[in-house]
Structures are given as structure tokens and as C-alpha cells.
Structure 1
Amino acid sequence: MSAPALVPSLAPAATEVGNPGLNITIFGVFVLITLAIVIRASRNNRSAADFYAGGRAFSGRQNGIAIAGDYLSAASFLGIAGAIALNGYDGFLYSIGFLVAWLVALLLVAELLRNVGKYTMADVLSFRLKQRPVRMAAAISTLAVCFFYLLAQMAGAGGLVALLLGIDDKTGQSLVIAVVGVIMIAYVLIGGMKGTTWVQIIKAVLLILGAGVMFLWVLGKFGLNLSSLLGDAVNASGGKKVLDPGLQYGKTGTTKIDFISLSLALVLGTAGLPHVLMRFYTVPSSKEARKSVEWAIWLIGIFYLFTLVLGYGAAALVGPKVIAAAPGKANSAAPLLAFELGGELLLGIISAVAFATILAVVAGLTITASASLSHDIYNSVIKEGRASAEDEVRVARITAIVIGILAILGGILANGQNVAFLVALAFAIAASANLPTILYSLFWKRFNTRGALWSIYGGLAIALTLIVFSPVVSGKPVDPVTGKSLSMLQGTDFHWFPLDNPGIISIPVAFFLGWLGTVTSKEFNAAKYAEMEVRSLTGHGAEKAVSH
């Protein structure tokens, strides 16, 4: 069936799709089931290690599935499918970047990080450097990355549920985002890392199965002929070159540079994402950490192959105009495709999976941010390592509530933005503020505290400054379909940085600042570096360190 015939039939679906009552029921069933699992898992939360790292009781396979559940966020399912539907090849490049990034994490970070650290990224960065300033810097960087990632998930939640319930006013969508935030806080407060991990495992299985069913269904519509699908996608896009590179990032020299910047952020960002790094501590050994990444790469790779067909399938069967006019814009492509394929029931199931995706990821982000504040700032900086495990966990729970409230407010502001792009900003911050310091700490003998502080604060400050003064925040033209500015802030323009993503500037500068800070300081602890090198490469002493 050609796309033009579908556009009129789906026009009403741009504001409401399916049966709102059925959608809410499926949502409610999933939330109740996962809350029951979280409550059951919480019965064994007796220590800080249980709350932060799930008691290190997960196998490599279980943790790999959970990593896939944590990593395959709303950006992967909603944002990338929408980006492919609207921009074709350029949208698929998000998938490539997200997947290739795991090779960096596997080869350079996963095993070494698990051997050196205890609960958080700051444990590694401060191992051979001055504890208090480095932990403070790492915690601030962690919060910044988690906040931008949370913005993306909350924006995805607002657009998804607005579409399913027919809510097209800002007040109703804001209420939806608030409800998501409250459920997220409940997961973290009740279940800690154990509960969150099981939610992520369940969500990963459901997401990959759901995407696989839609993948086969879409191909079946075209006689299992990928060429036929791609041809119809081109026709439905009004002749736009959705199969060629450059539709989104090839129009001008600036957009081409922006693509390079985006690619750097995606490929290098994963190895610096705090909520991904924290998952390596939930397994009992470095061998299991490595196995976790191997499982994650396979599952994530298979899923991204599915998104290629889902994106072009949405373009062919739904049509870019209908997608762009929906409440969630690009984020509505996958739900609209599900409605076209299987009606109300498939839409309800796929949307519940997408909703589960958002809940699982925001729970993982929240527990990472709260652990960083309680373990790195409260215990290590304020209490100088003398806080009890009970006090630390109590502070973590209070922090989770505060972070949840901030995420709700930020999600309301970011509602309507493409979630894949918002996540790319989080990757740029992680690649700028975290990755240089992690690599220098693990591999450069001369690295010292000043280098770490200059790298973290410098990379973070430059990335945030360039984002604030970029077209993402202000100055983009008005969308001809919706009549609204494509920037976060409407009716204002104070941007001076021409690129959407700051990675091409902020990442090299952060590496340079790490080097410059190091060579201008005489600090060097050879014995501590030798201890770290032995532990990171062999794991000797790691089990004793994490058992306390």
C-alpha cells in the first residue's frame, strides 16, 4: 500500500492514536508488575553495595542484558526510528555511532574500570590522585551528563503518552512527565540497583522482541523485499533523497562539520557515561564485566538493525508529514507505525514497551546521580570517608527525590525535542568531561590532580557553554508544519556557536587541558600509579577493595 493513501486515513491519528483506555491499562499492568519485582528485589537491600551495585550478584549475561536495557533508551527506539523516517540515511548514522562506541568501551574501559573502582566513576579517577577535589569534579560531571540524559527520556515520555492519550496541550503533557518522574523515583527508592537492574533486564527483552516483531511485520508488508520497502519510503517522502547521505547534515559546510562533531560525541561518549560505567560494578569479576559488554554489543547491534527497517517502514507506511505533525514529532514514528501495522492492541503493547524503556533508563540515571552525590560528595568530601553505609544510602534516597524533581522540570522544558539528539548532547558532555580523565588515569603514568581537574571542569564548562549558545537552545527557524521554533526556547535568539553539537571543539580541548594541567604540576605518585596499573590489568586487590 502506498504512503499517500495512508496520509488522509492517519491524519486524525496525529493527535490521538488507538484506544486511550487500552493504552492506560497496558501501561498500568506493566508498572504494577515491575513494581512488584522491584519490591521483591528490595528485600535483600541490606548494605551500600546492595543499593549501589546490586550486591555484585549479577552474571555477565544478566548484566549484559541489563546494559542493553539501560543503553537502548527512548533515543534508540523513538528518536532513531523517527530520525530515519524523516532524514533517512543521516538518521541511521545515530545507530552506527551508538554501536561503534561500544568497541571503545570494550577495548579501553570495561575490564580496567571494574578492577579499579568500587561504586562510581570517581573511585577510578581519584584512585591515585587527591581524593576530595577529584571526587567533587567527577560528581559534578556525572550530574551534568545524567541531567541531559534525563531530559531526553522525559521529553520522550511526554511525546509518547501525549500521542496515545490524545493530549495536545502543554499542561497535560507536563502532567504526564510528572507522573513518569514519580514512578521513576519509586523504583529507585524501593529497589535500588537490584530492582533497577531487573526492570532493565525485563525491558530489554520486551524491547528487542517487540522491535523484532515489528521488523518482521514491516518486511512482510513488502514481501520480505528490503528494496521494495526503501523504494516506497522514497516515494512517501516526496522524492527526498532519504537513501543518500547529507539530507540532514550535508546541506552546508556547517552541517557537515556538525556531523563530524556528532560522530565524535557518539563514538567517544559511551565510555564516559556514568550510568553505563556504574553497571560494570554489579558483576563479581572483571571477566564478567568483559562478558557483559560482549552480550550488550550483540543485543544492541541486532536492535539497531531493526530500527533501520522500522524507520524506513514508518516513512513508507505512515508518511513523514503525519509523523512531523504528531504531538511527539519524530518521537511518534514508532508508535504510529505500530498502529498502522496491528491497530490498537499492537500500539498499546509497543507503547508500553517504549514507556518501560523510558522508566528503566531514568531509574538507572537517577540511581547513578544519587550514588555519585552520596558516595562521592557526602561521604568522601563532606564526611571525609567516615559516614556509615546506612547514612550514605539514606542520603542517596533523598538525593534521588531531588534529582527526580529536577528531571521533571527539565523534561517539561525539553518536551517536543528529538530525544536522539538530546542524548547526543549528553554524549558530548561525557566525551568531553569524563573520557579524557578516565583514559589519562588508566594509561598515563605522569597524570596528576591538576590535569584531572582542568580536564573535567574545562571539558564540562566548554561543552555546556557551547550548548547554551548553540542553535539547539535558541535561534533555529520556525517549523513549517507546527509553526514553532525548532530550538528549545521560542521567540528568542542569542546563539553565536553555529554547530548543534559541541564535540568537535570540546573533546580535543578537554584532552589538551588534561595534558596542560599535568605538565604544569610537579605532583606524581609513582607507587600509587604502579598499584593502580597492577590492579587494573590483573584485578589483584580488587575483590578486597570492593568487599568492604
Structure 2
Amino acid sequence: MIIAPRRVGASAPLAAASMAAVGRTASLAVAALLVAAPALAGPGDLGGSEKQPVNLTAIIMFFVFVASTLGITWWASKRTKSASDFYTAGGGITGFQNGLAIAGDYMSAATLLGLSSMVFATGFDGFIYTISFFVGWPIILFLLAERLRNLGKYTFADIASYRLDQTKVRTFAAMGSLTVVCFYLIVQMVGAGQLIKLLFGLDYAVAVILVGVLMVVYVTFGGMIATTWVQIIKAVLLLGGGTLLGVLALSKFGFSLESLAAKAVSSHKAGTRIMGPGTLLADPVSAVSLSLGLVFGTAALPHILMRFFTVPNAKEARKSVFYASGFIGFFFLVVCVLGMAAISIVGTDPQFFEGGKVGGKLLGGGNMPVMHLAKALGGDIFLGFLSAVAFATILAVVSGLALAGASAIAHDIYARVIRKGHATEAEEMRVSKLASLVLGVLGVVLGIMFEKQNVAFLVGLTFGIAASANFPVLFLSMYWKGLTTKGALWGGIAGLVSAVTCVVLSKTVWVAVLGNAAPIFPYEHPALFSMTFAFLVTIVVSRLDGSETAKAEKALFEDQYVRAQTGIGAANASNH
């Protein structure tokens, strides 16, 4: 999440998001992963500064990466023959490969730039926030991964509708997925345009169009096979580049974390205060709500869930999460090291500040400490490599989002709802590719339209919907015998409406976007309220539903439970 650093000791609670782009008056944070930042000083172009000088190394590496990924897409297109190949790579991805791909989906340019800049600015608070992005993975590993693989075929709507009304529940689940995908895609496209504009010197509109075109090519021609390998390559580059930079940074401190911390304390204007809690968790309600959104919103993101259908069995699904957790956890620790190292290496070097004045504005904006660290330790070549990697991360994330959206349209809405399961694979794939093209065009158009807008509220809304509308239905459909179609629909709608309402009435929209004096909803993260409300409505409506249909749905739970535990029937089921 690209985050404009705040002053240590600032009174407003910190929130964050996942990639970056904003108007001049407020800051957007994005990435993978969450929520907006109402109190952060606002950049225009990822920090409000002029573009960096064009780095020839970055341009060369950028073209090398694009050429190699287009080659992968051509190779993948030869192997994408069926709907299973297009949606799930034929289930032929190993647990290790899928773990890397999941890590690639989760670790964005925003993770590298935004989280390291938060540690650079706030120390301990930034470290705690970074670690918080990791805590959702045990939930996915122990509660979801195995059952997802055993019950689903292509999308999470397969699971939600397993024993419920196919048409109604699948339509709702697909619309929930599309809503999350579209909002998240807008934020990623805006962030992509701003980041590429900053790092490569390209015009914003050209950058957005370029990302959109490449995204459509990857998804339309290569499907999940191409998308998976683009994500794997991106993850390896990001892990390798980040690790190398971390080793170079630690070498400046004798490979001693104690020396690194001591030097950071002596170099930071806040002194020892960066080693203690600031204001990030000052409000317990906001802290709990933020945590719920991070954990359960992540567990319900459609492009993450879809990855569990690419492995051959539940064992490989568990391996996927195990490996992904290792890669992600390691990378987040590396990011913390980079942020701390930047405090003493970048923060004390006048060449990285506007006007050559230490303590002023960083060149390129507040999200650039790790890029300046790369230049300080590895020169223009390393800076160019890291810039190209940042671009690679954007392409991987938007490709995953586009594929998740296309699968919801073609598999859930067209094949299962409109055609009632009678669509041929060829028809379904044609619709998928058309949907990918439409999503690409829509992403480009909306990305250009939102260039100057504060889109922070879309991030909070994305995770609020994922945690409040998608997760309760997904979780209860797998674990609670009493769930009925009416309960799932009413609960999902309640979560959707309450999440949207809370975000609109919060400071992020009510004050920052609509210009009102004070927010009606006092908190910035809706999950504690909207997700709780969704669970409550789902359970109450399901218990009150005494229809014969509801009784039949409850009776089917035993069959679902056996399949969820054993995987019997998972390999060859085409419908439920």
C-alpha cells in the first residue's frame, strides 16, 4: 500500500490501503490490501513531487520483462484449450508454484514502497502495521484452503451455492466478486498510472493504457497459465530484489539488527519514540475493526480465493498457503529492515531531499525511501531494476483481478445463471475473453477518469464488501448446517449495504470527498460493524426460514461435509 508518511505523534489514527494515487487534499494507500488514510498528508503523484529523471536501466529492464511475459503468454495460449485451463491452469500448478503465485498476488509495489515508507516515518507503528497484513493467512490455511479446493471448481460462488439455490446465490456471489474486483481494479489502475508516471516519466494516460492493454493480452490469450507464471516471475524478482537490497543495507551496519536500530534512533527526529507505540492503535474500536477487515477481507478476495482451484488436490492447496505464508512473512520482515535502514541512510543524505535540505520533502514524495535506498546502495542500475520490478508487480495484480472478474461473468452469471449449466466450454471461454476485454477497457477508462480524484474510499469499500458480504456467506456455507438461501441472500445484502453506508458516512467520504464538516459514522473501518451485522442477519433469517426448500438445503449439508473433508467427487464434478 502506498502510504504517505505521517508525523510521529500525529493525533489522527492511521489507516492504509494498497496502491497509490490521490488528489492533492488526501492520500490514497493501496495494495493488496487495505483501507484508506484520512489523516495522511496528501500527495498528488505518489507524494506530490515532480517526476524522477528517466532511468535508462529501468526502461531497458521494463522492456525485457514485457517481452518475456508476452513470450510466456504465447506459450500459455498453446496450452489453454479448455475452460479448466483458462480458469485454473487445468489444476496442474504445484503447491510451491501456487504459493509463489499467491505471494505475487499479495505482494505489490505498494507493499514494497508503502510499508517501507511507513516504517521509515513511524518506526514501531509501521512494523506493527506490516505484521498485521500477515495475520490473515492462518485463517486461510486452517479454515478455508482445503475445503475451497474440495468444494469449488472455478470460483468461490461454486462453494457458496453448493447446496443452496444455484441461480440466486450464484448471482449474488458473482455480483459481490465483481464489485470487489471492479473497485480494486480502479484503485490499482490509478496507482499504476501514478507510479509509472513517477518512475518512468511516462504520461499518466499512456501508463494506464499500457497496463490495461498488457492485462487484457495476458488474460485473454494466456488465461490462468500465463497469469500464474507472470505472478511467479514477479514474486521471484520482488523477493530477490528486496533480499539483495536488505543484505546490502545490513552490511552497512555489520549485519547487526541492534546496530541498525541504534543508528535509526539516533538519526530520526523522533528519537527513541520510533521504538514504541504511537497512535496507530490508540482507538481500540478502530484497531479491532481494521484487524477484522485485514483478516477476513483478505480471506474473501476473489482473485486470492481463485488460486486454490489451480492445484490438483487439497494437500497442494494447503502447501500453497504454507509456502505463500513463508514468502510473504519473509518479505514483510525484509521490508521492515529496509524501512529502518532508510532512516539513517536516506534520511541523513541531502541528495534525496528537495533543495538538498535534510528533513524536508523527499524527492519523488513520501513513498520513495526504498527507491532512494536502492540508489544509495546500488546506484542507478539497482534503482532501475527495482523500478522495473515495481511495474511487474502492477501487471501481475491487475491480471489476477481481471481473470477473477472474467470468471465471475462467464462461469457464474453466463454459464450457470443465464444458460442454466447448458453452455459449452467454447461458449464459456468466448464470454470469458470478451469479459476480460470489457474489464480492461473499463479499467483504463475509469483509471483515467479518477486520475485527480481521492479514491481512498474505494479501498475501504473493497475490503468492507469482501469481509462483510462475501466472507460470511462463504464461511457459513462451509461450516454451518443451518444456512439457507434466504439467510445467505439477506445476510449478504445486509453486509453489502452496511459496509457501503459506513464508508460513505465516514470521514473518508463524508468529509474528504463530500466536504461535510464532520463524519456521521465516527470510524474509518466498517468491518467490525458491517461484518457482525451480516453474520447476525444471515443466522437469524436462516433460523426463521422453515420452508421445505430450507429443510432440503440443510439436509444436503452432510453430503457437502463429506466432500469438504475427503475431496470425493471434487476431481470430476462439473456442477453441484
Confirm or deny that 1:223 pairs with 2:259: no
* 1:336 paired residue number: 372
Equivalent residue for 2:523, pick from 481, 487, 499: 499
Aligned amino acid, residue 240 of structure 2:
L
Distance 1:265 1:535 in 2: 29
Shift of 1:338: 1.6
Could you give the per-residue CA deviations for residues 3-49 of structure 1, whole angstroms, max 9, x where no partner exists? xxxxxxxxx99534454333222111111111111111110111110
* 1:532 paired residue number: 560
Distance 2:363 2:432 in 1: 35
Q: How many residues align?
A: 517
Shift of 1:462: 1.5
* 2:221 paired residue number: 190
* 1:381 paired residue number: 417
* Structure 1 SS opposite 2:258: helix
* 1:67 paired residue number: 102
Distance 1:86 1:355 in 2: 24
| Equivalence map 1:476-495=2 (5 Å) | 476=512, 489=513, 495=519
Q: Cα–Cα, structure 1 residues 154 and 327, in superposed 2: closer, same or farther, change >3 Å?
A: farther
Structure 1: which 5+ runs fail to align?
1-11, 477-488
* 1:266 paired residue number: 294
Q: Cα–Cα, structure 1 residues 395 and 58, in superposed 2: closer, same or farther, change >3 Å?
A: same
Shift of 1:309: 0.9
Distance 1:392 1:324 in 2: 55
Q: Cα–Cα, structure 1 residues 302 and 374, in superposed 2: closer, same or farther, change >3 Å?
A: same
Confirm or deny that 1:129 pairs with 2:164: yes
Equivalent residue for 2:130, pick from 89, 95, 102: 95
* 1:257 paired residue number: 285
Q: Cα–Cα, structure 1 residues 155 and 245, in superposed 2: closer, same or farther, change >3 Å?
A: farther
Structure 2: which 5+ runs fail to align?
1-46
Shift of 1:443: 0.9
* 1:315 paired residue number: 343
Confirm or deny that 1:408 pairs with 2:436: no
Contact conserved, 1:80 with 1:420, CA < 8 A, in 2? no
Could you give the per-residue CA deviations for residues 354-380 of structure 1, whole angstroms, max 9, x where no partner exists? 111111111011100110111111111
Shift of 1:147: 2.5
Distance 1:44 1:66 in 2: 19
Distance 1:302 1:546 in 2: 38
Could you give the per-residue CA deviations for residues 435-475 of structure 1, whole angstroms, max 9, x where no partner exists? 11111111111111011112222112211222233222352
Shift of 1:539: 0.7
TM-score norm. by structure 1 comes to 0.87
Distance 2:82 2:156 in 1: 19
Aligned amino acid, residue 270 of structure 1:
T
Equivalent residue for 1:47, pick from 78, 82, 92: 82
Shift of 1:330: 4.3
Identity of aligned residues (%): 45
Equivalent residue for 1:178, pick from 209, 213, 216: 209
Cα RMSD for the two superposed structures? 2.8
Deviates more, 1:337-346 or 1:38-47: 337-346
Confirm or deny that 1:114 pairs with 2:149: yes
Deviates more, 1:133-142 or 1:499-508: 499-508
Task: Name the structure with the higher helix share.
Answer: 1
Aligned amino acid, residue 213 of structure 1:
L
* 1:509 paired residue number: 533
Equivalent residue for 1:427, pick from 459, 463, 466: 463
Contact conserved, 1:266 with 1:424, CA < 8 A, in 2? no
Could you give the per-residue CA deviations for residues 315-339 of structure 1, whole angstroms, max 9, x where no partner exists? 3333397799568744433323222
Q: Cα–Cα, structure 1 residues 325 and 49, in superposed 2: closer, same or farther, change >3 Å?
A: farther
Aligned amino acid, residue 196 of structure 2:
V
Could you give the per-residue CA deviations for residues 112-155 of structure 1, whole angstroms, max 9, x where no partner exists? 11101110000000000001111111011111222233234324
Distance 1:335 1:425 in 2: 30
Aligned amino acid, residue 506 of structure 1:
S
Shift of 1:415: 5.5
* 1:243 paired residue number: 275
* 1:279 paired residue number: 307
Shift of 1:491: 6.2
Confirm or deny that 1:446 pairs with 2:478: no
Q: Cα–Cα, structure 1 residues 335 and 468, in superposed 2: closer, same or farther, change >3 Å?
A: farther
Contact conserved, 2:189 with 2:447, CA < 8 A, in 1? yes
Aligned amino acid, residue 73 of structure 1:
S
Contact conserved, 1:132 with 1:381, CA < 8 A, in 2? yes
* 1:518 paired residue number: 542
Contact conserved, 1:89 with 1:242, CA < 8 A, in 2? yes
Deviates more, 1:453-462 or 1:227-236: 227-236
Equivalent residue for 1:36, pick from 67, 71, 84: 71
Distance 2:285 2:405 in 1: 32
TM-score norm. by structure 2 comes to 0.83
* 1:479 paired residue number: none
Aligned amino acid, residue 467 of structure 1:
V
* Structure 1 SS opposite 2:368: helix
Shift of 1:58: 1.0
